[in-house]
A = this chain, B = another copy of it.
Amino acid sequence: MEPLQNDRLLRALLREPVDVTPVWMMRQAGRYLPEYRATRERAGSFMDLCRSPELACEVTLQPLERFPLDAAILFSDILTVPDAMGLGLYFSEGEGPRFERPLRSRGEIERLPVPDPEQELGYVMDAVRTIRRELRGRVPLIGFSGSPWTLSTYMVEGGSSKEYAHIKGMLFDRPELLHRLLDTLARSVTAYLNAQIAAGAQAVMVFDTWGGILTPRDYREFSLRYMEQIVAGLEREAEGRRVPVILFTKGGGDWLEAMADTGCDALGVDWTLDLGDARRRVGDRVALQGNMDPAVLYSSPERIRREVVTILESYGRGGGHVFNLGHGIHQHVDPEHAAAFVEAVHELSAPMHRE
């Protein structure tokens, strides 16, 4: 492997000093880029794109050709793990992800296998290896997975949901069955992320997209606890460096303190929190990643710069901040505005890192 030329991301995630605040964007390889749409068109379906290591590598690198981003993130989907468990993932137009065989019965849950990442998910590991090779040490590569709770919502509902009737019915009336499912998922995700690290991921992030629909009690019991299990089971060093772990619960701003206690290195923060308040709450236990409202990218470059200043000043001086959006970049954003955002973070943060 070629040596890492830009390690700002890894340093900031470990709260070490940096020259400028590192920045990347959730869903930076995505539909707002015309070159992504062209590759997607060539690939066929969305899953065909995920399953081709060459094409997944191509779209992972596309935003780095345009913008001086400080990280690449593996192009994949959070639902590859349940798909590898045999649920049959597909994407239907306008409906989002669906499973051919949603889980409902005790028997189905008890028979659920822990997939071997190098077998059933070998295409993801091939993508990680291909991307690392093609990155040639420019920036670190972030691997990722969905959280057990978030994966379980899709697996039990059969797809996206508004009311979560099935999964919450299970949570309230058959909690021991849900715990069984979540434990299987936690073991599967741990193996999946460790395989990504072995294949070359230099940081990993767990996306808990639906933790925010739970009560504080249920969040701890059904989501946070399994993320903690994953954090405890991860290989935290590779290629002689620490591999930082980032947890992100969308809408989980009330629970930052508990999340910081899991042993992770950093927390993703959405835009409904003031970043300075979040920093005061977690102290020096973890770094923070966020937290610009992605809708700001619809506005003018001047307005984007002002929002970047507001967030940088809210966080304050010193390391431990990775700039990001509070959610994935929207598909109708002008790429020039994303360029203005990335440039603004580097330029405007530099004075805050000088002695």
Give A residues with C-beta under 8 Å from B.
163-165, 168-169, 172-173, 212-218, 251, 253-254, 271-274, 277, 293, 295-296, 298-300, 303, 307, 310, 330, 332
Contacts and interface: CB of A to CB of B under 8 A. Distances in A.
Given A217-B310, A254-B253, A165 B298 contact: yes
A272 B165 contact: no
A30 to B, nearest CB: 13
Contacts of A298: 165, 168-169, 172
Given A165-B298, A303-B172, A212 B254 contact: no
5 contacts: A168-B293, A172-B296, A173-B300, A216-B277, A251-B251
A299 B163 contact: no
Nearest to A214: B272
A168 B169 CA distance: 36
A120 to B, nearest CB: 32
Contact of A299 (B172, B212, B217, B253): B172
**Is chain A's binding surface mostly helix, strand, loop or mixed?**
helix
A261 B240 CA distance: 53
A174 to B, nearest CB: 9
Contacts of A216: 272-274, 277
Contacts of A215: 271-272, 274, 293
Nearest to A213: B272
Contacts of A173: 299-300, 303
Most chain B CB neighbours (cut-off 10 Å) among A218, A296, A298, A307: A298
Contacts of A169: 295, 298-299
Contact of A172 (B164, B295, B330): B295
Most chain B CB neighbours (cut-off 10 Å) among A168, A253, A310: A168
Most chain B CB neighbours (cut-off 10 Å) among A169, A300, A307: A169
Contact of A254 (B163, B254, B307, B310): B254
Contacts of A310: 217
A271 B173 CA distance: 18
A217 B273 CA distance: 9
A248 to B, nearest CB: 16
B253 A295 contact: no
A275 to B, nearest CB: 10
A254 B216 CA distance: 13
Contacts of A274: 215-217
Most chain B CB neighbours (cut-off 10 Å) among A277, A299, A300: A299
Nearest to A300: B173
Most chain B CB neighbours (cut-off 10 Å) among A214, A215, A295, A303: A215
A163 B303 CA distance: 18
A128 B308 CA distance: 48
Contact of A165 (B172, B254, B277, B330): B330
Contacts of A214: 272, 293
A332 B166 CA distance: 11
A171 to B, nearest CB: 8
